[in-house]
Amino acid sequence: MLGRGLVAAVLLAATAACGASGSPPARGPQPEQLPHYDVAEDFSLPSSPTWKSAHRRGELTVGVKEDQPGMGEKNPATGEYTGFDVEIAKMMAASLGFDPDKQIEYKAIASANRETALQNGQIDYYVGTYTINEGRKKLVGFAGPYYIAGQRLLVRRDEKQLKGPQDMAGRKICSAVGSTPLQRIQADHPRAVAVAYDSYAICVDNLLNHQVDAVTTDDTILLGYAAKDPERLKVVGKAFSEEPYGIGVPRQDRALARALDKALVARERSGDWKRAYDATLGLSGRPAPEPPRVDPALTR
């Protein structure tokens, strides 16, 4: 099934822009409601090769998602990116001395391509629902965590049987290639029929077209899709994993990871983290949780 899913993913990637990923945000944040981040003056981080070359270029290249409403979404009409992850990316840029409105170039990178993008120097850092785990730590560096998500299920509103992970046997469950939720379905729920595409937006199109029975990934992402189309979609069951989100950095650039850790702590203390949450993810109605403790023991 996975093989077939992968082939279909290639075919569908070309048409994805017309589906769920292509429609403008239903009730995304208004630009004037988004926080403004003070840019650090005279900031310098000569021990970070990534920072040094970005400084020379005059801008940061930041990897994000483009089709995850509430987290990282590109407005096809304006080309603008919005969401909690995008806000984290912006406040980090400001802390590194870059103007978030003028000195960030965003690159949309799918789940499966994050490690290569960081290893090849295509991006300076990555903020896109990126779970910190041991396997990834061998390939990339992390700062954080800055949020803890959990895996859940998105189904069609008229779905009666699928109420949680216990009901997945024999059902087609869609997730993204290279993601932890897909791995978990394959490893812990072998009776579920795993289907994999390049992005969750393609999975959602397939759910609406009755090609699959559920989409599984982090609650942050699924709640964003459900909020956009509440008449047709709902999130069910409790979270069945913990996904601590980190900012991905090139593995050898410890100085950058340390600087981002420091910046996260400062932005949490200043209230910027909460303001960013309230203006994005918080629109779904869930009040801001306490941010998780930034923890080098978890990320390195």
Interaction site with ligand GLU (CB under 6 A): 111, 128-131, 176, 179-181, 217-218, 243
Could you give the C-alpha distances from 124 to 23, 65, 93, 119, 195, in angstroms and in order?
A: 29, 15, 10, 10, 31
Q: How many secondary structure helices (H) and strands (E) does the chain include? A: 11, 13
For residue 89, give every residue at least 6 positions away whose Cβ sits within 8 Å of its Cβ, in sequence order, or none. Answer: 62, 64, 100, 104, 106, 125, 127
- CB-nearer residue toward ligand GLU: 48 or 129: 129
User: Min. distance of Cβ 47 from ligand GLU in angstroms?
Assistant: 28
* Torsion sign (Cα): 240, 246, 248, 250: negative
User: Min. distance of Cβ 200 from ligand GLU in angstroms?
Assistant: 7
User: Min. distance of Cβ 133 from ligand GLU in angstroms?
Assistant: 8
- CB-nearer residue toward ligand GLU: 19 or 49: 19
- CB-nearer residue toward ligand GLU: 155 or 176: 176
| In the block, residue with structure tokens 């024999």 | 170
- CB-nearer residue toward ligand GLU: 35 or 141: 141
- CB-nearer residue toward ligand GLU: 196 or 259: 196
User: Min. distance of Cβ 140 from ligand GLU in angstroms?
Assistant: 11
User: Min. distance of Cβ 298 from ligand GLU in angstroms?
Assistant: 14
